[in-house]
């Protein structure tokens, strides 16, 4: 598939292993800036593993190994001398289960990425917190209780707090690993709505096992099976006119 | 359907177990009652000022436990001051940094420390630790920090400093074990949240692990404190057993536990015995309350972690 714009993120021949087990096989994927790319596929096909190679979180697992290249704005994040800590500041992540820090307040949770980066200017922190919370559609609900613990919010609010926390450091790319799978339908709908807004600011790669969700809110969809990338296309195309038989079988619900 | 005989057997069995458990519980009550009874003459004669009067004089039959309370509090807190940071570090190393095999080995050895009998710690303290302190550590401290009142006076080796060190070693396994459990209960998703935000390993440990574990660390410390307060044998062997309050850590002292161990055999007057029992009663109450609080904290955390 040709992208009209230069890709902001580009995975080239990515292989990922857990010990001797190869979870990702030769996956190459280009991601256009300011787009939402959905990764779909049956459980265990390697969506999370692939996502976690994109911000070098994969290597934190004991025994995990990586081969290949991942270019962020043309620069290989796995290049020698690249600091994974710096990489992760540019590629944010939202996880399956909301995971705000219980010891931090709502406000502290939102700006924790900045404080980690050494920002101490109170005014700047407050400004950033407000805009990140607004972008995560949470501001109105929490503006009067910013000092309350992050974990005092509902599950859906906690997940939007985690999105705000990721947005606050203004990374060019945000990875989301099934961010709505632990949430109720209303919270899910709010976050799906949010994706459309978010892509004005960032590029989103989202794992979902919900095909309707992929069809509703992504520009591109990549279908994974047994660690391989089977098909990658514009979402309307992939869902209406899949090129690969395995994709067709999956989206028509014949397996997975 | 159960047959009746088996049912009867069941009930007898149940009653026996209940009676046995009841007798264990009543021992606690019996000890408390007996301590009060034994110490009653001293309670009547010396009342509350017993706890701050430092005049302990078997010859004149006048008793005050101030020096021992000072000794117990000082040695225990000093021990915690050393043991808590040490235990936190060891527990963090075990849960966050060490490869699994090394962690298992180190954890095993730390647990073995808890299995060493107190008197063996005492022997080691007398024949190894005290000479080391007397010949090297204390001269070094008085040379460089001698202007601090804590490090003044002749280096005896044996004294408050040695007692606190041995206590620190003895309570470290307890505190480490609980801290380790507390750190292990921190969900992996918390660590990933921190890593995902661009936290270094060290920042991840602080942000995701330590910050959410303070109440657990506190509970572990209080449990360690409970052990330190009541520890008798090793402290008696190392503290020097002198009934006075001294500002210097090098000086000998006395704790509530050590004075009882030292004097009960030679106590001749009934007032002396009552006074020792009064010290014992106070120690009993303090240990009981400390352990109660610590267990409450730790249990609540364990309940919270498994939820
Ligand atoms: N920590 C791990 N250790 C070993 N194998 C793992 C680990 N995590 C995932 N795997 C394996 O890698 C494969 C891909 O897993 P994953 O990426 O989590 O799949 P998905 O997110 O698509 O459900 C699965 O076969 C899974 O069992
Ligand atoms: Mg997954």
Q: What are phi and psi of A64, to 5 degrees?
A: -80, 145
Name the residue among A211, A193, A206, A200 with its Cα closest to residue A94: A206
**In chain A, how long is the greatest CA-to-CA distance?**
56
pLDDT band per the 50, 70, 90 thresholds, residue B3: low
Instruction: Say yes or no to pLDDT of B307 above 50.
Output: no
What's the DSSP call for residue B108?
H
pLDDT given for residue B69 in this prediction: 93
| Nearest alpha-carbon partner for B165 in B257, B288, B74 | B74
Task: Decide: A27 in ligand 1 pocket, CB within 6 A.
Answer: no
Residue B306 confidence class, pLDDT cut points 50, 70, 90:
very low
- A18 CB under 6 A from ligand 1? yes
Task: Please check whether residue B98 touches A, CB under 8 A.
Answer: no
Helical spans, DSSP H, in B188-269: 188-196, 201-204, 214-230, 233-238, 256-263
Listing from the earlier edge strand, what are the strands of the sheet with A91-94?
A91-94, A173-177, A203-207, A36-40, A220-225, A228-234
Residue A119 domain flag: no
The answer to whether B259 touches B169, Cβ cutoff 8 Å, is no
Asked whether the predicted pLDDT for residue B267 surpasses 90, the reply is: no
pLDDT at A214 over 60: yes
* pLDDT for B151: 87
The predicted-structure confidence for B170-181, as pLDDT tens digits, reads as follows 999 999 999 999
Interatomic CA distance for residues B198 and B232, integer angstroms: 49
Percent of chain A with pLDDT over 70: 97
Please tell me which residue of chain A has the smallest CA distance to B208.
A101
pLDDT in tens, B90-134: 999 999 999 989 999 999 999 999 999 999 999 999 999 999 998
Mean pLDDT of the region A204-225? 94
Asked if residue A182 is part of any domain, the answer here is yes
Q: What CATH number does the domain containing A191 carry? A: 3.40.50.300
Res. B303: pLDDT tops 70: no
Contact A60 B208 (CB under 8 A): no
Task: Please give the DSSP secondary-structure letter assigned to residue A241.
Answer: S
With respect to residue A29, please indicate whether it lies within any of the assigned structural domains: yes
- Report the share of chain A in percent with pLDDT over 90: 88
pLDDT (mean) for A18-41: 96
pLDDT score at A4: 60
Closest Cα to atom 7 of ligand 1: A18
Closest ligand to C-alpha of residue A47 is 1
Whether residue A157 lies inside any domain: the answer is: no
Q: What is the pLDDT of residues B172-223, one digit of tens each?
A: 999 999 999 999 999 999 999 999 999 999 999 999 999 999 989 999 999 9
Spell A157-186 as b/e; 16+ CB within 10 A means b: bbbbbbbbbbbbbbbbbbbbbbbbebbeee
Bigger pLDDT: B2 vs A146: A146
pLDDT computed for residue A1 by the predictor: 52
Q: Tell me the ipTM for this assembly.
A: 0.91
Strands A220-225 and A203-207: unpaired
Q: Distance between CA A224 and CA A232 in Å, rounded? A: 9
- Put simply, the answer to whether A166 touches B190 (Cβ < 8 Å) is no
Give the helix/strand (H/E) hosting B9: helix B4-46
Cα–Cα distances in angstroms (integers) from residue B137 to residues B86, B129, B134, in the given order: 19, 10, 7
Query: How far apart are the C-alpha atoms of B194 and A85, rounded to whole Å?
Result: 10
- Mutation test of ligand 1: which of A25, A39, A44 has the most ligand atoms closer than 8 Å to its C-beta? A44
The torsion angles phi and psi of A94, rounded to 5 degrees, stand at -120, 135
| A49 Cβ inside 6 Å of ligand 1 | yes
Contact B197 A102 (CB under 8 A): no
Indicate whether A189 belongs to any domain: yes
Of chain B, the percentage scoring pLDDT greater than 90 comes to: 70
Domain ranges, residue A188: 9-97+173-251
* Calpha distance A143→A189 (Å, rounded): 22
End-to-end CA distance of chain B: 37
Residue A53 lies in a domain: yes
Is residue A220 included in any domain, yes or no?
A: yes
Q: How is residue A15 written in tokens?
A: 């292989």
DSSP string for A87-126 = HHHHEEEE-SS----TTSBHHHHHHHHHHHTT---HHHHH
Mean pLDDT across chain A, nearest whole number?
93
Q: Do B198 and A88 touch (CB under 8 A)?
A: yes
Q: What is the total count of domains within chain A?
A: 1
Lowest-confidence pick of B78-92, B145-159, B192-206:
B145-159
Report whether B222 contacts B290 (CB < 8 A): yes
Assign A242 a pLDDT band (cuts: 50, 70, 90).
very high
> Which pLDDT score is estimated for B305?
46
What's the rounded mean pLDDT across residues A227-246? 95
Nearest CA to ligand 1 atom 14: A46
- Do the domain assignments include residue A213? yes
Q: Is B252 helix (H, G, I), strand (E, B) or coil?
A: coil
Q: Is the dihedral of CA B206, B208, B211, B215 positive or negative?
A: negative
pLDDT tens-place string over residues B9-55:
888 889 999 999 999 999 989 999 999 999 999 999 999 999 999 99
How far does the centroid of ligand 1 lie from the alpha carbon of residue B306, in Å?
Answer: 24
Domains of chain B by start residue, with CATH: 2-306 (1.10.3720.10)
Q: What is the DSSP letter of A255?
A: -
With a cut of 60, say whether residue A229 has pLDDT above it: yes
Coil vs helix vs strand at B200: coil
Query: Ligand 2 centroid to A250 CA: how many Å?
Result: 17
> Closest partner residue to B196 among A55, A100, A102, by Cβ?
A55
């Amino acid at each position: 598939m040709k992208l009209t714009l230069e890709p902001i993120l580009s995975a080239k021949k990515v292989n990922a292993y857990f010990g001797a087990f190869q979870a990702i096989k030769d996956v190459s994927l280009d991601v256009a800036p300011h787009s939402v790319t959905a990764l779909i596929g049956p459980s265990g096909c390697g969506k999370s593993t692939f996502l976690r190679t994109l911000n070098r979180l994969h290597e934190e697992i004991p025994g995990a190994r990586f081969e290949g290249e991942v270019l962020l704005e043309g620069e290989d994040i796995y290049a020698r001398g690249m600091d994974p800590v710096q990489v992760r500041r540019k590629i944010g992540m939202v996880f399956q289960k909301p995971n705000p820090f219980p010891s931090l307040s709502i406000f502290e949770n939102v700006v924790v990425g900045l404080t980690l980066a050494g920002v101490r200017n109170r005014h700047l922190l407050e400004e950033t917190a407000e805009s990140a919370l607004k972008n995560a559609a949470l501001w109105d609900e929490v503006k009067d209780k910013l000092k309350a613990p992050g974990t005092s919010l509902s599950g859906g609010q906690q997940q939007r707090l985690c999105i705000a926390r990721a947005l606050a450091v203004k990374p060019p790319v945000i990875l989301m690993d099934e961010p709505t799978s632990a949430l109720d339908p209303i919270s899910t709908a709010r976050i799906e709505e949010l994706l459309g807004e978010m892509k004005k600011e960032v590029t989103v790669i989202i794992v979902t096992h919900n095909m309707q969700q992929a069809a509703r809110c992504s520009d591109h969809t990549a279908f994974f099976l047994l660690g391989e990338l089977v098909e990658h296309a514009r979402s309307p195309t992939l869902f209406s006119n899949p090129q690969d038989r395995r994709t067709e079988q999956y989206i028509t619900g014949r397996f997975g | 359907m159960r047959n009746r005989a088996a049912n009867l057997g069941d009930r007898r069995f149940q009653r026996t177990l209940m009676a046995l458990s009841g007798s264990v519980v009543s021992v606690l009550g019996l000890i408390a009652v007996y301590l009060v009874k034994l110490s009653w003459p001293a309670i009547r004669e010396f009342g509350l000022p017993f706890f701050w009067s430092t005049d302990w004089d078997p010859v004149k039959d006048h008793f005050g436990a101030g020096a021992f309370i000072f000794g117990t509090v000082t040695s225990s807190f000093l021990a915690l001051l050393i043991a808590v940071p040490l235990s936190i570090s060891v527990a963090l190393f075990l849960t966050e940094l060490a490869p699994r095999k090394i962690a298992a080995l180190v954890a095993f050895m730390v647990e073995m420390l808890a299995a060493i009998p107190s008197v063996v710690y005492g022997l080691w303290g007398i024949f190894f630790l005290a000479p080391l302190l007397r010949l090297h550590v204390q001269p070094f401290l008085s040379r460089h920090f001698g202007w601090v009142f804590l490090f003044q006076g002749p280096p005896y080796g044996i004294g408050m400093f040695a007692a606190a060190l041995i206590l620190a070693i003895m309570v470290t396994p307890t505190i480490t074990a609980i801290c380790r459990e507390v750190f292990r209960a921190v969900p992996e998703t918390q660590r990933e949240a921190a890593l995902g935000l661009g936290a270094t390993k060290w920042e991840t440990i602080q942000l995701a692990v330590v910050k959410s574990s303070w109440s657990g660390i506190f509970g572990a410390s209080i449990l360690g404190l409970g052990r330190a307060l009541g520890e008798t044998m090793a402290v008696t062997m190392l503290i020097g057993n002198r009934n006075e309050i001294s500002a210097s850590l090098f000086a000998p002292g006395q704790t509530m536990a050590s004075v009882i161990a030292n004097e009960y055999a030679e106590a001749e007057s009934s007032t002396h015995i009552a006074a020792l029992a009064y010290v014992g009663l106070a120690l009993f109450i303090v240990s009981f309350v400390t352990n109660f609080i610590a267990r409450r904290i730790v249990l609540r955390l364990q309940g919270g972690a498994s939820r």
